[in-house]
Amino acid sequence: MLSILSPCRVLAYVYSHALFAGDVKLSQLKAALAEAGIPAEWADGALVCRGHTLVTKAADSEDLLLEGALSSEYFAIRDIIYGQYHVC
């Protein structure tokens, strides 16, 4: 008889802090996303991409925050962000 494995809990996550050189504007990012075929809508000062992935700017800095499930869409949006700005 096979035993059933219980789901594993994530005990830690890797946080990678990227430094963006240049002026980060969400309106320019929205245009770049549209050019790549990823629709994005404004909602409370953030970009919501296909209803699942959220791009916001941190209130106290120029940092971009990308939130959403890790999926091909998430990584495509991340690649567009990295392509728009010089990432250090």
**What's the pLDDT score for residue 24?**
65
Q: What is the pLDDT of residue 75?
A: 92
- The answer to the question of residue 3 being in a domain is no
Q: What is the pLDDT of residue 76?
A: 93
Q: Tell which residue, 40, 34, 29, has the closest CA to residue 82.
A: 29
In a domain, 4, yes or no: no
Q: For the chain, what is the domain count?
A: 1
Please tell me the predicted confidence (pLDDT) of residue 33.
92
Q: Does the residue 6 lie in any domain?
A: no
Handedness of CA 37, 63, 55, 16 (dihedral sign): positive
* Cβ within 8 Å of residue 23, ≥6 positions away: 62
Segment-wise mean pLDDT, segments of 10 residues, the chain, 88 residues: 57 44 73 92 88 80 83 91 73
Question: By C-alpha distance, which of 13, 17, 20 is closest to 70?
Answer: 13
Residue 76: inside a domain, yes or no? yes
